[in-house]
Structure 1
Amino acid sequence: MKVLLIGANGMLGPHVVKALEDLHQLRLTDIKDAPETVHEYVQLDVANLDAVTTAAKGMDAIVNLSVLRTDRKIAFDVNARGCYNVMTAAVKNGIKRVVNTGPHFTIAGPSYEDFDFDINSEIPPRSGTGLYAHTKSLGQEICRVFAANHDLFVITLLFYHFLEPDK
């Protein structure tokens, strides 16, 4: 399968590349300069619809790992508008499979650490009002609406916490 990986230079990107590279043909993208890689690389701003649509040409799936947490305008451009651009590019290019990364898992009420492994679909995620979680949740809603209105298979991954062994 040909997979477009958006945000390949971020915290998750190198790990996802390692997991997919033996099974799939990868086209890596990021706003940063190209890393050392044997894979095709396109420098890409996910907030640019034309660039995302062009990068998605010929792909079978898109994995969107893009995220920005701090700057208010850019966070919206990456986390919400970028997600809209990814979904629009998928529809325009006939791509049926999209994996999106949502906000760190957040719920209303008690701390979710208290639930241990008993978190289930009955406990709905709540984005709160923080910039990061709110803009990523908007992206998650964009994915839901596109999946409901187009012939798309979309998964949004919700995370709790990442550990980087070297840090």
Structure 2
Amino acid sequence: MERFSLAIQEFVEAIKVFNEESGTSTWIYTCEYREMKVLILGSNGMLGPYVEKALQDDHHLILTDIQEEYEGNNEYLQLDVADLEGVVSAAEGVDAIVNLSVLRHDRKLAFDVNARGCYNVMKAAVHHGISRVINTGPHFTIAGPGYEDFEFNINSEIPSQSGTGLYAHTKSLGQEICRVFSENHDLHVITLLFYNFKESGDNMLSASDIDPNQFVPFSVTWEDAARAFPLSLEIPDDKLPSKCEIFNIFCDLPHGQFQNEKARRILDWEPTDNLEEYWKIDSL
């Protein structure tokens, strides 16, 4: 039995259970803990609804996005992540911030959302004493063409080299802002990196409608991607190797170009769908 502290509660008791069949360990909480109040930025994006579904049963959510309309049942605010005062105001009284915001193509807006947005998130966290921030980005936030075009077995511990693409470069700037804040303030940042999202095998298109050349060896279902967020919010600080950690989130694939071992080992994240229907399609 282990006893550890979280910013959102007095204490929690848990036991780590080893599953012999899967060869993995999982934290089983043995006492009820208080829900977190979580601010989610960019919640109307493609991943947002899946993250909302993964968190809403256990935590109080405040969803925000630049769009005015929202059709769900959680609390919602219209907010531009580039608005520092707005982000600071929205973050008042929350226990954690999840940043899903992204903009890819316009030069000024990409900088305002991907880089300045991270600065605003971190300023809000410091201002309100929020100790857990979950940031997100594409794989080339750290692993740009200099890695992807030539390397193998790429993990999330590599020195950052995003390349010069607008999307990757601005996301890399945002990640560096997060890192610097974590080194100078009492907070932890977890960054989850993604590349390609797929429908689960149960929902995939018929084989005749799938182009196997579009499958990339850093893919994950929407549902499995979302499952990384509660794990990232709830992992105790003392289970993290440092105050700023990056994790590759993708399913188990035979290609071996990238690694997801760190997410499995530290977050206890496990993919439930390895997308064989996609990458085995040529052998059918």
Question: Which has the higher relative contact order, 1 or 2, with Cα contacts under 8 A spaced 6 or more apart?
Answer: 1
| Cα distance in 1 between the residues matched to 2:129 and 2:157 | 33
Give per-residue Cα distances to partners, 1:107-141, cap 9 Å, x unaligned. 424537x73xx333554342100000000000000
Q: Does 2:134 match 1:99?
A: yes
Partner of 1:152: 187
Cα 1:104/1:110, change in 2 over 3 Å: closer
Q: Name the aligned partner's letter for residue 134 of structure 2.
A: V
Partner of 1:43: 78
Q: 2:149 aligns with which of 81, 92, 111?
A: 111
Q: Does 2:66 match 1:31?
A: yes
Give per-residue Cα distances to partners, 1:23-62, cap 9 Å, x unaligned. 1000000001232111110000000100000000110000
Unmatched 5+ stretches in structure 2: 1-35, 206-284
Greater Cα offset, 102-111 or 34-43: 102-111
Partner of 2:120: 85
Cα 1:166/1:95, change in 2 over 3 Å: farther
Greater Cα offset, 155-164 or 64-73: 155-164
The secondary structure found in structure 2 opposite 1:57 is coil
**Root mean square deviation, CA, Å:** 1.9
Unmatched 5+ stretches in structure 1: none
| Cα distance in 2 between the residues matched to 1:122 and 1:94 | 27
TM-score, normalising length: structure 2 = 0.54
Percentage of identical aligned residues: 70
| Cα distance in 1 between the residues matched to 2:204 and 2:164 | 32
Q: Does 2:42 match 1:4?
A: no
Q: Name the aligned partner's letter for residue 172 of structure 2.
A: S
The secondary structure found in structure 1 opposite 2:112 is helix
Which of structures 1 and 2 has the bigger CA Rg? 2
Q: 1:132 aligns with which of 167, 172, 180?
A: 167
Cα 1:125/1:158, change in 2 over 3 Å: farther
